[in-house]
Structure 1
Amino acid sequence: MAETCLELCYKVASNRAAAGGGGVVGALRQPMAWLGIALWAVESIAWVLALRTLPLSQAYPVMCLTYLTIPLACRLLLREGLSARKLWASALIAMGVALIAGRQA
């Protein structure tokens, strides 16, 4: 969830910077970019803590769910297009994660 939020923050910051004619420096002037960076730090700490108790082979596939949550969040919150092909690909990834999680349970 944090990964999805931080990616949305980066996208909003870059959109705002582009609208103002700024590049990377313009994006770093956006509060949303710094919120994304803060979420990245929190996510990194949470990831290390999660790996203390979970095997990497079990935890990592869950991270792949961002291939599902990011396109859906972009569609719902940023009004970006979402093709049927992207929906199918995301669904296949979600099914793969479910298969991996079910096998290790």
Structure 2
Amino acid sequence: MNVTALSFVLIAACVAAEIFHEVAFKVAANRAGDSDHYVRDVARQPWMWFGMVLWAIQTGLWIVVLQSVPLVVAFPLMTLSYAGVPAASALFLHERMSKQQIIGAMLILGGVLCVGATAA
């Protein structure tokens, strides 16, 4: 199996969907607040449903990716979400990242670049 530019685009779309569905879930959870009916309140949040749509899209794209990309390549590239979710949380939700988290995210990025370079 040859990893094509389209495969990388699809993996990037999966990573983006993963990042933004996690942020959407967090926004929904924050907006639901603390109540005795927390699950119901979260289910009523539009952000929750937006996150679920992104999750479904990501799952569909991931299946397409797995048809043409070896898992040994695709899965490590998908771990960009481990760096992307905290970065998006800092950017959009104004959460703070510690120096150790920033260094960890940079190490993940470096590892993914190594894996990506072997697939090209």
Q: Same fold (TM over 0.5)?
A: yes
Does the aligned pair in 1 maintain the 2:77–2:115 contact within 8 Å?
A: no
Aligned residue number for residue 73 of structure 1: 88
Name the Cα RMSD after superposition: 1.1
Task: Give unmatched runs, 5+ long, in structure 2.
Answer: 1-15
Query: In the aligned structure 2, how far is the partner of 1:104 from the partner of 1:3?
Result: 22
Q: Does 2:40 correspond to 1:54? A: no
Instruction: Say which SS state the counterpart of residue 33 (structure 2) adopts.
Output: helix
Q: How high is the TM-score relative to the length of structure 2?
A: 0.82
Measured after TM superposition, the shift of residue 104 of structure 1 is 3.3
**Percent identity for Structure 1 against Structure 2:** 37
Mapping for residues 86-97 of structure 1, pairs under 5 Å: 86-97=101-112
Task: Give unmatched runs, 5+ long, in structure 1.
Answer: none
Relative contact order, higher structure (CA 8 A, sep 6+): 2
Does the aligned pair in 1 maintain the 2:27–2:47 contact within 8 Å?
A: yes
Instruction: Return the letter of the residue paired with 2:108.
Output: I
Aligned residue number for residue 27 of structure 1: 42
Q: Deviations over 1:21-73 (max 9, x none)?
A: 34222111101001111111111000001111111111111110011111111
Query: In the aligned structure 1, how far is the partner of 2:55 from the partner of 2:87?
Result: 20
> How many equivalent residue pairs?
104
Ranges of 4+ aligned residues in structure 1 off by more than 3 Å: none
